[in-house]
Amino acid sequence: MAQRTATVRTSALLDELVPVILDEGFLDLSMADVARRLRCSKSTLYGIAASKEQLLVTVVRTFFRGATDRVERAVAGAGTPMDRIGVYLEAISVELAPASPRFFADVDAFEPARVIYRDNTRAAARRVQELVQDAAPTADATFVGAVAGQVMESIHRGEIRAATGLDDSAAYRSLAELIVAGLSGDHESRHPRKRSR
């Protein structure tokens, strides 16, 4: 019973910490800062993770795990297979919207967090491939997934922001529009509508 209570408390603290980290970043926060924000003791935090670095990895993982679950729930509620592609990438956009430039800068500067973001980006590219295969079997899902993956990696590295001024959330939204428009055009060109006489 005590272990379950501790697990619930840990989960609640992580849920409270995620929005703080998304808004302010994490590299400049000390364990004392975090404890103050969460109104808990440093020993409570050290019960979650043995160091600030491990706590930050746990928080970043918690964010991406929660985001992935919410994105998949959104996809499950979508209509057609084509809708699911747009919903998937739009949902990623929504999840990334609260993340500040400072958060992304800190992720980029902190290798364990950078690896988590990269791995999630690659998993998202594989998921796009699956969704494309379901939505447009005649399209080259491997190619579309690979292109989406390249764009996602560019978003992650900050290249899209530098080139366009779009933050990560807006870039994912634009990627969704591009893929759905491209596949819709491909589907129509392969299956032209009958002309009325």
CA dist 109 and 107 (Å) reads 5
Domain count, the chain: 1
Q: Is the pTM higher than 0.85?
A: no
- Domain span at residue 134? 2-190
Q: What is the CATH number of the domain that holds 113?
A: 1.10.357.10
In a domain, 44, yes or no: yes
In a domain, 45, yes or no: yes
Rg (CA), the chain: 20
Q: Residue 128: which of 113, 112, 147 has the closest Cα?
A: 147
CA dist 85 and 78 (Å) reads 9
In a domain, 196, yes or no: no
Reported as a single tens digit per residue, the pLDDT across 14-35 is 999 999 999 999 999 999 999 9
In a domain, 77, yes or no: yes
Within 10 angstroms of residue 32's Cβ, the number of other Cβ atoms is 11
In a domain, 195, yes or no: no
In a domain, 107, yes or no: yes
Reported as a single tens digit per residue, the pLDDT across 129-168 is 999 999 888 888 888 888 988 998 888 778 999 999 998 8
In a domain, 197, yes or no: no
